[in-house]
């Protein structure tokens, strides 16, 4: 009984950790995409000013 409980706890912790890592990766990816889009917008703005 105790062994089963411990294995379930470990499984839950691993699941939560994987979910957390996925969320962090998505946030980092989102941040990187936003940064790239900001740079693109800035580049287009500069080009429009030069025209």
* pLDDT value, residue 51: 61
pLDDT at residue 16, rounded to an integer? 86
How much is the pTM? 0.54
Distances, alpha carbon 4 to alpha carbons 10, 28, 34, 40, 43, in Å: 10, 36, 45, 53, 58
Please tell me the predicted confidence (pLDDT) of residue 7.
84
User: Is 50's pLDDT higher than 80?
Assistant: no
Tokens 């946030």 correspond to what residue?
27
44 closest CA partner among 31, 32, 36? 36
Check residue 51 and report its DSSP letter.
Answer: -
């Amino acid at each position: 009984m105790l062994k089963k409980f411990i294995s379930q706890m470990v499984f839950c912790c691993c699941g939560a950790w994987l979910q957390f890592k996925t969320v962090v990766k998505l946030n980092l990816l989102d941040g990187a995409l936003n940064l790239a889009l900001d740079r693109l917008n800035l580049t287009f703005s500069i080009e429009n000013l030069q025209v």
